[in-house]
Amino acid sequence: MKVLVLGSGGREHALVWKLKQSPSVTQVFCAPGNAGIGLDAVNVDISSTDTARLLKFVAKEQIDLTVVGPEIPLVAGVVDEFLNAGHKIFGPTSKAAELEGSKRFSKELMKRANVPTADFSSFTNAAEANSYLDEREIERCVVKADGLAAGKGVVVCSSREEARDTIKRMLIMKEFGAAGARIVIEERLVGEEASLLALVDGKTIVPLEAAQDHKAAFDGDTGPNTGGMGAYCPTPIMTPDLIDLAVEKVLVPVVHQLKKEGRPFRGCLYAGLMLTSQGPKVLEFNVRFGDPETQAVLMRLKSDLGLALMAAATGTLEDMPPLEWDPRPSVCVVMASAGYPGEYQKGKAIRGLDDAAQIEDAKVFHAGTVRGEDGQILTDGGRVLGVTALGDTISQAKLRAYQTVKCIRWEGAWCRKDISDKAIR
């Protein structure tokens, strides 16, 4: 079959790369793609949100399946329009995608579904939000922009002053624009984080191998939140029993509740979990593959991804054989531009990609790159590359990933040095 992937980041590069290896897939396109994706698939110069042009392309090229990578087109309703036009597409409708599109909606749905999560309240008024902090004498909390903020709309606050400052930035200074016009304040959960992704076809849920993301910018989980600075898979803290428990207590009730409310879910459901002393609690839901978890997870997948995604899109997951996994763990290290997650410059020439490509059991996924007029690959984002490697142990996978990182250079390049250390400890 012919497959079109929508998006231009590291997650999309990983999807394209794995789909290209699938025996069921004859050709892979990506709209709009990036410089690295162009080496593994055919880039199509159409924005992932330009639904009218995408539909024309799909009809002309007779695409059998479209796979949506990022959340923005999902929330905007790209799946609805494709289904109305009679095309097969992997991803939830806009009504189901509200699970990620609105933090308040997500928290209220969890409440209705009896899914374990942190206590919360939502606000559009800064004075009311500050009163809430004072009345409850809250010191440590999490303040979230209600809408989509590219992974940066969550601020973990260690003091009331920090929480007040975040409320001011979001509701008064409008640093997050429309995404921060409403905020959610919730209790700060304590424990280890894990990411559980699952393929869902509306009724059947197939969990993937669990991963652990590193959201904070700097080593030791310090600094501001980012879209993710690295990941590893599997994560030892998510035992098979704990995965079963998370499916039973989190994924099944949410999929059932969405269906009950007329928002049936098909696509990839991502639960960001905090493993507390009371058991797993949900930090957030995403309605698509995580980034950079996808790079780490798909590095280990041995099954035909094309068949699996088609089964999810067509409601036939229960007929699929169990997914097969490489027993070796994987580690993904994100290389970023100077200044990220704040302001950063683009257009820096990247050197050493050919050397990195020579390292066995490693793959450099491009997240923010573009090809310059002279053919050279340049930086074009905050998160630039996701350097991913396999190893017989997590320590070996980490070593190989950082050996690959060492091959690559550009002005201002940086990365965290401690990706996967939690697992090794």
- Give the tens place of pLDDT for each residue, 292-345: 999 999 999 999 999 999 999 999 999 999 999 999 999 999 999 999 999 999
**SS3 of 108, please?**
helix
**SS3 of 383, please?**
strand
300 and 373 both lie in a single domain: no
278 and 378 both lie in a single domain: no
Residue 104, in any domain of the structure: no
88 and 131 both lie in a single domain: no
301 and 202 both lie in a single domain: yes
Contacts of 212 (CB under 8 A, 6+ apart): 192, 193, 194, 195, 231, 232, 233, 235, 237, 420, 422, 423
Residue 278, in any domain of the structure: yes
Q: Are strands 2-7 and 65-68 parallel, antiparallel or unpaired?
A: parallel
Residue 309, in any domain of the structure: yes
Q: What is the CATH number of the domain that holds 53?
A: 3.40.50.20
With CA atoms as reference, report the closest residue to 68 among 57, 56, 54.
54
Q: Which domain holds residue 205?
A: 192-319
Residue 67, in any domain of the structure: yes
Residues recorded for the chain:
425
pLDDT-derived band at 135, boundaries 50, 70, 90: confident
pLDDT at 149: 81
344 and 420 both lie in a single domain: yes
**SS3 of 132, please?**
helix
| Contact call for residues 34 and 13 (beta carbons, < 8 A) | yes
Question: Which residue's structure tokens are 């396109």?
Answer: 29
Is the predicted pLDDT of residue 167 greater than 80, yes or no? yes
Residue 167 host element (H or E): helix 160-167
219 and 312 both lie in a single domain: yes
Chain CA centroid to CA 144, Å:
17
With CA atoms as reference, report the closest residue to 242 among 285, 270, 280, 193.
280
180 and 227 both lie in a single domain: no
What is the mean predicted confidence (pLDDT) over 68-76?
96
Residue 107, in any domain of the structure: no
Q: d(Cα 227, Cα 11) in Å, to the nearest integer?
A: 12
pLDDT at 13: 98
209 and 297 both lie in a single domain: yes
User: Which residue would you say has higher pLDDT here, 160 or 7?
Assistant: 7
Q: Which residues of 77-94 are buried (b: 16+ CB within 10 A; e: fewer)?
A: bbbbbbeeeebbbbbbbb
Using CB atoms within 10 Å of the CB of residue 168, give its burial: 0 to 12 exposed, 13 to 18 middle, 19+ buried.
Answer: middle
295 and 359 both lie in a single domain: no
* Residue where a domain terminates, one of 187, 202, 234: 187
Q: d(Cα 257, Cα 243) in Å, to the nearest integer?
A: 20
pLDDT at 134: 84
Is the predicted pLDDT of residue 365 greater than 80, yes or no? yes
Question: Which residue's structure tokens are 């790369």?
Answer: 17
196 and 315 both lie in a single domain: yes
Is the predicted pLDDT of residue 7 greater than 90, yes or no? yes
| Contact call for residues 284 and 228 (beta carbons, < 8 A) | no
- The string of pLDDT tens digits covering residues 104-115 is 999 999 999 999
* Residue where a domain terminates, one of 128, 154, 187: 187
- The string of pLDDT tens digits covering residues 173-208 is 888 888 888 888 998 888 889 999 999 999 999 999
Residue 227, in any domain of the structure: yes
Q: What is the CATH number of the domain that holds 234?
A: 3.30.470.20
Residue 32, in any domain of the structure: yes
343 and 413 both lie in a single domain: yes
- The string of pLDDT tens digits covering residues 385-419 is 999 999 999 999 999 999 999 999 999 999 999 99
* Residue where a domain terminates, one of 157, 187, 217: 187
Is the predicted pLDDT of residue 151 greater than 90, yes or no? no
Residue 216 host element (H or E): strand 216-218
Residue 100, in any domain of the structure: no
With CA atoms as reference, report the closest residue to 323 among 306, 301, 297, 300.
301
335 and 416 both lie in a single domain: yes
